[in-house]
Structures are given as C-alpha cells and as structure tokens.
C-alpha cells in the first residue's frame, strides 16, 4: 500500500511516469495506491489521467482514486481508501467511514483504511488551519483493524492501529526516521496488528556543524569524510565556523573540492576565516610588491569590519596560492 504521493506533482515529465510504472511493475506483487496532496485525483491535468500513464500502467498497480471499498477476497481483506481529490481540503478525508462502511461488499473482513493528511494535534498547534486534517480516532469508531497514513515523511506511530510509514527514501536533512517501510500482519478481524519496521533507504543524509581552529581540526574532519561508507550515496551538509592559517585553509579547500566530486551532494555553509601564522606572514611580507600587497591585506583583515576582514582573508589566501605556483581555478 502507498498512502499517497506516488508522484511529486502533476507536471512531472513523461520519462518519470514511465520509469515509475516500470519500477512498480518490477515489484511483482499487487500495489494499492491512493492519490495524495501532490498527485490529487481531481485535477484536470492529473498525472493519473495522462495518456503516458495509461500506456505504461502496470497490471499490478491499483489506483484507488474514489471512496469505494475494495475487496481482496483471497485474504478476506477490505480496503477503505480515502484519496484526496484536491491538494488542500478542510474536510477530513476519512469522514465517510463508519462501522458499516463496506460490510455489504465483504463481511467478516480485515478492515484497512488508507488516508493522506495530518492527524489532529500533530505537528500544528492550530488544527483549524491545517489542511487535510484526519481524526485518528476514526480507526476505533469505524472499527478499522489498521489505518495506513501518508503525508508525514517520517516513520511515526500514532496508535497501535494507526501509523505513518514515512517516505522510503529520506528527502531532506531532518532526523524524522524516514527511509522505512512497514510490514503489517493481522491474523483476523479485530486482531492486533504486528508491525515490523524495515529500513530500505539507499541514500544517507548527514548534517554536521564543525568548528575549525587548527590543523588538527581539519585532519579530524578529513578522517571523518574519508570514513564514509557509501560516499556516492551520501548527501552532506556542513556548517563551518572558525579560523585557520593559510596552509590549513588550503588543505580544507582542497578536501572540500574533492568531496564535492565524490559525494552525491555536498553543501557547505558558514565561513572559516584566514588568519596567517607568523611564519606565513613573514614569508608573504618578506619583499617586493607581493610583500606590500600582503601587508595591506593583513591590515584590512585585522579591522573590525567583518565583511572587509573576510574579503581580505580570502585575498591573502589567493596571494599565498599564487606565490606557491598555484592557480586561481575554483569550483563555483
């Protein structure tokens, strides 16, 4: 079961539609999906009504786009879909469910609700302004054996019968236990669900805040990045602060340039200032025009104006690189 948002939006390319259909076909078991707030069913341009989807649609994919009970008789199971017909609605998507819903379709069945939205009292302090709001007590009132929820991207238990599985891949730098699927086993109508959490994520998202004040700090960060088990599947966000000598700053720059090539994604924020050591200053300021430029930049870097100091520090770094025979080439 996929509780909404198979597709990110109705404007995705036909290539994405075709590939998604092939991926679902390759699963080899029936897949039951409802439209969510990103791929809601009521749009005139709905991806579900697109000719490319119809041409590629796998036989094992069942799109439950209406409030119609679906019987899986081989398993004595009744699916009660609560699809979204628009992106945002003030109506509870599950409000059509009652104790009697679907019993004329399949009696004495395991009753599974599938819905997409936020639950009351969850994430928002003002439920009145939250769209697609679901009252999780519907599981008890409609005598559901399980309610599968979508929308929240992380794995979360609401109650013993109500869960968000979250997205099968993380999609942001946030520790919300995304990257899982749930195996739910129910032996009989009214039986307690047994929930097994299965981690399926391929990508690893890492967020770090690092202070760099010495060569040892740079070396420690380098060891950590070299120790990443799957760099090609790793997304890294580094927030840096501190100040380093020119040589250590060059080492940091080269290391980050390498990681941007190795990692799936590397984002660096913050700033590490350049504070030359006495020996580095002596070498830069020793003679000639280079020395005069270096002394001017050092004076600017020592000012209280942070913007000027940062620019001067970078200029000192470039000057140092040029005096060592290095070029100016840098990644954008």
For 248-306, how does the pLDDT look when each residue is reduced to its tens digit (9 = 90+)?
988 999 999 999 999 999 999 998 887 777 787 777 776 677 778 877 887 777 766 77
pLDDT tens per residue across span 212-245: 999 999 999 999 999 999 999 999 999 999 988 8
Helices (H), 37-91: 51-56
Answer whether residue 1 is part of any domain: no
Tokens of 100: 């009697």
Asked if residues 38 and 6 have their Cβ atoms less than 8 Å apart, the reply is: no
**CATH code of the domain in which 96 resides:** 3.60.21.10
Residue in the structure block whose two tokens are 């086993």: 185
Domain boundary among 146, 168, 199: 199
Instruction: State which H helix or E strand residue 180 sits in.
Output: strand 180-185
Burial of residue 149 (number of CB atoms within 10 Å: 0-12, 13-18, 19+): buried
Structural domain containing residue 115: 14-199
Domain boundary among 183, 199, 215: 199
Please, which pLDDT band fits residue 144 given cuts at 50, 70 and 90? very high
- pTM as predicted: 0.78
pLDDT tens per residue across span 156-179: 999 999 999 999 999 888 888 999
Same domain, 181 and 234: no
User: Distance between CA atoms of 184 and 293, rounded to whole angstroms?
Assistant: 69
């Amino acid at each position: 079961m996929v509780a909404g948002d198979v597709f990110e939006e109705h404007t995705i390319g036909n290539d994405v539609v075709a590939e998604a259909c092939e991926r679902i076909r390759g699963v080899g078991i029936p897949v039951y999906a409802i439209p969510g707030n990103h791929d809601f069913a009521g749009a005139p341009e709905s991806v579900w009504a697109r000719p490319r989807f119809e041409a590629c649609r796998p036989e094992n994919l069942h799109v439950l786009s209406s409030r119609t009970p679906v019987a899986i008789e081989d398993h004595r199971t009744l699916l009660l879909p609560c699809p979204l017909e628009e992106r945002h609605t003030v109506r509870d998507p599950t409000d059509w469910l009652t104790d009697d819903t679907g019993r004329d379709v399949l009696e004495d069945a395991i009753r599974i609700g599938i819905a997409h939205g936020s639950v009351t009292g969850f994430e928002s302090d003002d439920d009145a302004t939250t769209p697609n709001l679901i009252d999780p007590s519907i599981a008890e009132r409609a005598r559901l054996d399980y309610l599968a929820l979508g929308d929240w991207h992380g794995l979360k238990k609401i109650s013993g019968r109500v869960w968000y599985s979250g997205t099968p891949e993380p999609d942001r730098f946030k520790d919300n236990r995304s990257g899982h699927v749930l195996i739910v086993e129910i032996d009989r109508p009214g039986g307690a669900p047994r929930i097994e959490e299965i981690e399926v994520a391929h990508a690893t998202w890492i967020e770090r805040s690092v202070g760099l004040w010495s060569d040892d700090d740079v070396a420690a960060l380098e060891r950590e990045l070299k120790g990443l088990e799957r760099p090609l599947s790793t997304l890294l966000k580094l927030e840096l602060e501190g100040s380093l000598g020119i040589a250590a700053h060059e080492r940091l720059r080269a290391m980050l340039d390498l990681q941007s090539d190795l990692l799936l994604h590397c984002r660096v924020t913050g700033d590490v200032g350049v504070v030359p050591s006495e020996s580095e200053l002596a070498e830069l300021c020793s003679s000639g025009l280079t020395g005069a430029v270096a002394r001017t930049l050092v004076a600017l870097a020592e000012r209280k104006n942070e913007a000027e100091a940062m620019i001067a520090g970078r200029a000192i770094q470039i000057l140092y690189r040029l005096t060592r025979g290095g070029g100016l080439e840098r990644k954008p």
